[in-house]
């Protein structure tokens, strides 16, 4: 986990730098020094909002509520045990009143982390399977990739917004012809596409990492594999509505909450479930039999 954590910190720093540089360059291109000043404040505001408030926005989008140990004693027990095993603080626990089986973790570091499960996931998974899911979500926090996912989402959103702004409201000065319409159209198409590719690559890679790290933490990769099969069946039979509140949170969830078929799978923030399960089963085969004690 330490290697993944350090690697993701470097990726976070690189993405923040890329985000700022792109916003500054676009601001200067379309607005000169005035546009550059606006872009500086815009990039600082967006980076700050991403860093400090991503957890609150994600929890609010799923209507998640904090729960006590008295309400969910088994959930608290497994989270506490796994956090202690990893030598990390206990995260805040939330439950979303959503019938779809899903879960996600959010927060910029272990000291500010939250783990959320839906009511649906607690109804279809047994103890071992839910423990595997919790291990996966805690690994997202310990690998420090919750922040990088939020930054990737912000990067994609900002580039898309600036592309549309540049196309419809060119900021060139009055004494020149402004940006070439053809270049604006190209940016309108390629800008959001490039941002999406960056986000997808990061999101898919972090899911594989969290699967492996979570299985190592619980020492039970087959339990997570079994849970993923059930969760995927549930998300496909009970897809969430693809509105703006939820699309910004989808990349945090353990499985894509929307029904993705055909071309939609190419733009999913999650890797193919069949491949995730295959890797976990291979991990179990390589590690030998697991002695699980409840």
pLDDT in tens, 129-169: 999 999 999 999 998 876 676 666 566 656 666 666 556 65
- For 29-76, the pLDDT digits (tens) are 666 666 556 656 766 676 667 667 778 888 998 999 999 999 999 999
292 belongs to a structural domain = no
DSSP run (H or E) holding 138: helix 127-142
257 belongs to a structural domain = yes
57 belongs to a structural domain = yes
Could you tell me the pLDDT band of residue 115, with boundaries at 50, 70 and 90?
very high
Nearest of 116, 115, 121 to residue 141 by alpha carbon:
115
Which pairs with CB-CB distance under 8 Å and at least 24 residues apart come from 269-272?
Answer: 269/199, 269/200, 269/203, 269/204, 270/203, 270/204, 270/207, 271/204, 271/207, 271/208
- Is residue 137 among the annotated active site residues? yes
pLDDT at 39: 59
Q: Distance between CA 149 and CA 129 in Å, rounded?
A: 25
Number of domain units in the chain: 1
pLDDT at 263: 44
Q: Distance between CA 95 and CA 66 in Å, rounded?
A: 7
Which pairs with CB-CB distance under 8 Å and at least 24 residues apart come from 237-241?
Answer: 238/99, 238/100, 238/101, 238/120, 239/100, 240/98, 240/100
97 belongs to a structural domain = yes
Q: Do 102 and 120 contact (CB within 8 A), yes or no? A: yes
Domain housing 28: 2-287
Residue 177: alpha-carbon gap to chain centroid: 41
294 belongs to a structural domain = no
The structure tokens listed for 53 are: 């408030």
Among 6-10, 14-18, 62-66, 260-264, name the most confident range: 62-66
Q: Distance between CA 21 and CA 92 in Å, rounded?
A: 35
Q: Do 122 and 75 contact (CB within 8 A), yes or no? A: yes
47 belongs to a structural domain = yes
Q: Distance between CA 116 and CA 124 in Å, rounded?
A: 16
> In 3-state terms, what secondary structure has residue 115?
strand
What is the rounded end-to-end Cα distance, in angstroms, of the chain? 24
Name the active-site residue from 119, 137, 207, 281: 137
293 belongs to a structural domain = no
Q: Do 127 and 78 contact (CB within 8 A), yes or no? A: yes
Could you tell me the pLDDT band of residue 293, with boundaries at 50, 70 and 90?
very low
pLDDT at 187: 59
pLDDT at 226 over 60: yes
Q: From edge to edge, which strands make up the β-sheet containing 114-118?
A: 65-66, 92-96, 114-118, 103-106
Kind of pairing between the strands at 114-118 and 92-96: parallel
What's the whole-model pTM score?
0.76
Nearest of 83, 54, 57 to residue 148 by alpha carbon:
54
């Amino acid at each position: 986990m330490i290697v993944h954590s350090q690697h993701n910190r470097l990726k976070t720093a690189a993405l923040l730098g890329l985000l700022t540089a792109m916003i500054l360059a676009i601001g200067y291109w379309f607005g000169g020094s005035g546009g550059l000043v606006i872009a500086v404040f815009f990039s600082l505001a967006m980076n700050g909002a991403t860093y400090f408030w991503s957890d609150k926005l994600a929890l609010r989008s799923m209507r998640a509520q904090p729960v006590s140990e008295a309400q969910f004693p088994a959930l608290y027990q497994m989270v506490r045990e796994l956090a202690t095993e990893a030598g990390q603080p206990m995260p805040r626990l939330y439950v979303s009143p959503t019938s779809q089986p899903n879960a996600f973790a959010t927060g910029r570091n272990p000291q500010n982390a939250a783990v959320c499960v839906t009511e649906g996931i607690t109804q279809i998974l047994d103890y071992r399977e839910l423990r595997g899911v919790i291990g996966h979500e805690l690994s997202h926090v310990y690998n420090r990739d919750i922040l990088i996912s939020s930054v990737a989402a912000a990067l994609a959103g900002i580039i898309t917004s600036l592309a549309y702004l540049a196309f419809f409201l060119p900021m060139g000065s009055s004494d020149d012809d402004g940006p070439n319409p053809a270049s604006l159209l190209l940016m309108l198409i390629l800008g959001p596409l490039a941002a999406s590719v960056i986000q997808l690559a990061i999101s898919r890679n972090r899911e594989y990492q969290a699967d492996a790290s979570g299985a190592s933490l619980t020492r039970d990769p087959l339990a997570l594999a079994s849970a993923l099969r059930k969760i995927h069946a549930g998300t496909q039979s009970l897809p969430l509505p693809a509105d703006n509140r939820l699309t910004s949170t989808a990349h945090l969830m353990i499985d894509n909450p929307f029904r993705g078929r055909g071309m939609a799978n190419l733009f999913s923030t999650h890797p193919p479930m069949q491949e995730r399960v295959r890797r976990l089963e291979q991990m179990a085969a390589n590690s030998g039999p697991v002695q699980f004690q409840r």
